[in-house]
Amino acid sequence: MSRNPSILFRQLFDRVSCTYTYLLGCNKTRRAILIDPVKEHVNRDLSLLKRLELNLQYVANTHVHADHVTGSGAIKTLLKPAVVESIISSASEAKADIHVKDGDIIECGDSIKLHVLSTPGHTSGCVSYYCPEGAFVFTGDCLLVGGCGRTDFQQGNSAQLYTSVHQSLFTLPEDTSVFPAHDYNGNLMSTIGEEKRYNPRLSKSQEEFIQIMKDLKLDLPKLIDIAVPQNMICGF
């Protein structure tokens, strides 16, 4: 469901890596964009596009993922000869057809306009995609429901993540829906207002936040040695 009737919206889930994939379609032109697809679910996602009579124009990633391989490459291959362009931030230094930076706007059909917000900290190339017309933002691994992405590898930087959230995401309208790249507890979404007030990490001071992140001591993602190199070349 979408709050804007001209934008078709679907959220999809990968139970293995707990990744959310998002599909946005322009109801009028039938053009569509997929955000953060997972390689193992490419057939599911392409079937859904077909059922909804949508033509995929873009596949965008919020960052170079470390826990799963992006579906971008497989989708581009499977949908040929239709031209589907992959998108990632220039700061990620990953291969893609289109490189975006803070302030850019991705237009898809008549109704979808995604504003690129640079939100580094989990990785140095993380971006969020904000859609004012739909009142939602795809925050990748920067801001999660009651959490945030880890900052202990891939150029992670806790101070930078805190700044991204407080100076960029938390300045969006409070009723903006937050759609993260992951959730491990069955939460599908949140709002900027809820995260400002209740995020147990990011509602704290920057100093306290940095200490919380330092104390996490997480294991490395199982797939990091496979996923990062493949994602640097768009999953090919």
Contact residues for a second copy, defined by CB under 8 A: 1-3, 5, 9-15, 18, 21, 41, 44, 48, 51-52, 136, 177, 185-189, 194, 197-198
Non-local (6+) Cβ contacts of 104 within 8 A are 115, 116
Least distance (Å) between residue 129 CB and a second copy? 16
In angstroms, rounded to a whole number, what is the distance separating the alpha carbons of residues 209 and 191? 20
Please identify, using beta-carbon distances, which residue of 104 and 194 lies nearer to a second copy.
Answer: 194
The nearer residue to a second copy, 151 or 201, going by C-beta atoms, is: 201
Nearer to a second copy, 125 or 134 (CB): 134
Shortest Å distance, C-beta 101 to a second copy:
28
Instruction: With beta carbons less than 8 A apart as the criterion, state whether 134 and 121 touch.
Output: no
Q: At its nearest, how many Å lie between a second copy and the CB of residue 92?
A: 25
Residue with tokens 């306009």: 113
User: Could you tell me the smallest distance in angstroms from the CB atom of residue 14 to a second copy?
Assistant: 6
Positive or negative, the CA dihedral 131, 137, 138, 140 is: positive
Closer to a second copy at the Cβ: 188 or 216?
Answer: 188
- Measured between alpha carbons, how far is 143 from 73 in angstroms, rounded to an integer? 26
Q: How far is the CB of 90 from a second copy (least distance, A)?
A: 30
State how far the Cα of 92 lies from the Cα of 172, in Å rounded to an integer. 24
Closest CA to 162 of 188, 194, 195, 191: 195
Nearer to a second copy, 97 or 194 (CB): 194
State the minimum distance, in angstroms, from the CB of residue 133 to a second copy: 13
Q: Give the number of other Cβ atoms within 10 Å of residue 191's Cβ.
A: 19
Which among 122, 121, 140, 120 is positioned nearest to 130, based on CA atoms?
140
SS3 19: strand
User: Which CB sits closer to a second copy, 185 or 205?
Assistant: 185
